[in-house]
Amino acid sequence: MRKLVWGFCAIGVVITSMVAMSSAQNFYATNEYGYNIYSVDYATDTVTVITTTTEKPDDIILTPAGNLVYTQNPGGSVVMYNPTTKVSTVMGTALGGLRDLVLEPSGTSILVAAYAPGKILRMSLTAPYTVTTLASKLKTVNGLAYDKAGDLFAVADMNTVIQVNPVTGATIKTLVLEPYYKSNGGDGMCYDPYTNELWISHIGTIGNGLYEVPLNLSTATEYLTGDILQPDGIVSDGKGNLYIGGAYKNLLEYNIPSNTVTKSLLVSGIDSPVLVPAP
């Protein structure tokens, strides 16, 4: 586990020394309460609506072909949007309360967290967008992440990180993050190549913040507890920075080496961001 030598910083304060910051990023993001998808230029602080949605969009990912795929509720649908042609395609409906997504290592399919049914669904990225159930009876499912070795992880039962066999759907390992919380706990999750660990946003009994979890699920270390309001979607740039949707209001940049929130940009209604790869 990492050892940090710098202290905490209040949200919104930008640190310009000790570490190199990385705010020159572009994102797409879901506006859950505004029923639309944003393009976000983090360098110029420009937020642009690129398309509207038919329901509340939750998580969003970018496919190898450059399409956006997002979940929306309450209908439990998965939608693909082509930013070039501006065409939206419904890939599946009535799949349950849908939350997070992850692109599979093959690049030809995705996994979808069906929250209330407690399932992990697999969906192909080409028509007819076949849907199968990888894992079930997980009570609830939120964050999903693959590491660089192709190991699969999920946030299940609100407060537990599990490793899942990506072929059979069997649970391999579990780690309880904190005491059970009635309405939430672990939420968004990503694999971070910089630390080679999992990072999880949480809203739980010990307060809002982040968890860092090694891939062997041996421990969970808390960061910024009480300093991030309602963290949700989380992504990594692989360079020591995490980007988090906070309180349906801000896109936050968290610098891992300095353990500070280095930027907070108003992105109204944000649930989840996805990074646009540099050209």
pLDDT at 279: 75
Sites in the chain below the pLDDT cut of 50: 1, 3-20
**26-275 is classed in which CATH architecture?**
7 Propeller (2.130)
Sign of CA dihedral 110, 59, 128, 115: positive
pLDDT at 180: 74
Distances (CA, A) of 60 to 2, 67, 111, 187: 29, 10, 12, 14
Question: Under a CB-based contact definition with an 8 Å cutoff, are residues 26 and 267 in contact?
Answer: no
Closest to 195 measured CA to CA, from 145, 153, 237, 251: 237
Taking the C-alpha atoms of residue 213 and residue 89, their distance in angstroms, rounded to an integer, is 36
Closest to 271 measured CA to CA, from 40, 63, 41: 40
Show the tokens assigned to 47.
């937020």
Taking the C-alpha atoms of residue 211 and residue 199, their distance in angstroms, rounded to an integer, is 6
Return the domain boundaries, the chain.
Answer: 26-275
pLDDT at 20: 46
HEC profile for 118-129? CEEEEEECCCCC
Name the burial class of residue 276, with classes exposed (0-12), middle (13-18) and buried (19+) by CB atoms within 10 angstroms of its CB: middle
Closest to 191 measured CA to CA, from 136, 236, 125: 236
